[in-house]
Amino acid sequence: MKIMVAVKRVIDYAVKIRVKADKSGVETTNVKMAMNPFCEIALEEALRLREAGHAKEVVVVSMGGPQCAETLRTGLAMGADRAIHVSTTELLHPLTVAKLLRGLAESEKPNMLLLGKQAIDDDANQTGQMIAGLLHWPQGTFASKVAMEKGSDSVVVEREVDGGLESLKLQLPAVITADLRLNQPRYATLPNIMKAKKKPISQVTPEQLGVKISRDLEIVEVIEPPKRKAGVMVASVDELLDKLKNEARVI
């Protein structure tokens, strides 16, 4: 089985985000970037499936400018077998990413597509679902456990939903998106970092995948959330109820 893992290069989770003065986005120049944490978890799961003998090959994919190579090299250093870089400098939104992944899936023919549930920069939580729709593949999103039996053509995904945990059995090929508790990603090791240099990163353009990049979304404005206001002492329970009802509007 071949597993394809899509990873995104995002601002490192520990960085204090600053909004640009012109409110067009967040400051990314000179800011530390890293692989999206959920993508790391997805890649880790793929590696574990391969180590358990369920998969033969793990291919890691990323889309964007030349700096993606960094993220792909991290993926290779963690243990992926090879990498594909979809080269573009355009801003990509989830639907476009999904279309590009469809193009790749058609040529690579993976049996499983693993992604992070969402990226920590846009929190879209759409790409996995969209690609499953485009490919007409079953999807197991917010996975907290992925289990396969040897030689089986299905996978059992335990998902975290509002009501608790839900177990789904998906017929392969399938799309799975990783949630936080799926696993703990491994560190790369020094020997693996060096071995990664020999692993291939192939380049592909959106045109080659037959995708025309269109701007379906327009970012109107990016602003900081309102500053936390000081607490207010209330004189009585009635006043509390009144504030909860009329000001905070939570009841």
Q: HSE, CB side, 13 Å, CA atoms: give it for residue 131.
A: 32
Distance in Å, CB of 108 to another protein, minimum: 26
Q: How far is the CB of 1 from another protein (least distance, A)?
A: 23
d(CA 33, CA 17): 12
Q: What is the dihedral of CA 20, 23, 26, 29, to 10 degrees?
A: -40
Give the interface segment with another protein, choosing from 148-156, 170-178, 182-190, 199-207 (CB under 8 A): 182-190
Cα-based distances in Å from 226 to 63, 162, 202, 229: 33, 27, 44, 8
Q: What's the CA gap between 36 and 24, in Å, rounded?
A: 22
Q: Does 128 bind another protein (CB under 8 A)?
A: no
Which of residues 52, 194, 234, 244 is near another protein by CB under 8 A?
Answer: 194
DSSP tag of 245? I
Candidate list 2, 19, 28, 126; residue touching another protein; CB under 8 A: 19
CA distances from 215 to 8, 93, 96, 195, 225 (A): 19, 8, 9, 38, 26
To the nearest whole angstrom, how small is the minimum distance from the Cβ of residue 251 to another protein?
25
Using CB under 8 A, count the residues that bind another protein.
35
Smallest separation (angstroms) from another protein to the CB of 88: 22
Based on the shown chain and the rule CB under 8 A, indicate whether residue 14 belongs to the binding site for another protein.
yes
Peptide bond into 226 cis (omega under 30): no
Interaction of residue 185 with another protein, rule CB under 8 A = yes
Q: Which of 120, 209 has the CB closer to another protein?
A: 120
Comparing CB distances to another protein, the nearer of 30 and 89 is 30
184 makes contact with another protein (CB under 8 A): yes
CB 81 within 8 Å of CB 222: no
Question: How many whole angstroms separate alpha carbon 191 and alpha carbon 176?
Answer: 30
164-171 and 154-161 as β-strands: parallel, antiparallel, unpaired?
A: antiparallel
Give least dist CB 25 to another protein, A: 13
Kindly state whether residue 193 participates in binding another protein, applying the rule CB under 8 A: yes
Site for another protein in 34-73 (CB under 8 A): 37-38, 40, 73
| Closest CB to another protein among residues 228, 249 | 228
Binding residues for another protein, rule: CB under 8 A, are 13-17, 19, 30, 32, 37-38, 40, 73-74, 77, 117-118, 120, 123, 180-181, 184-191, 193-194, 197, 224-225, 227-228
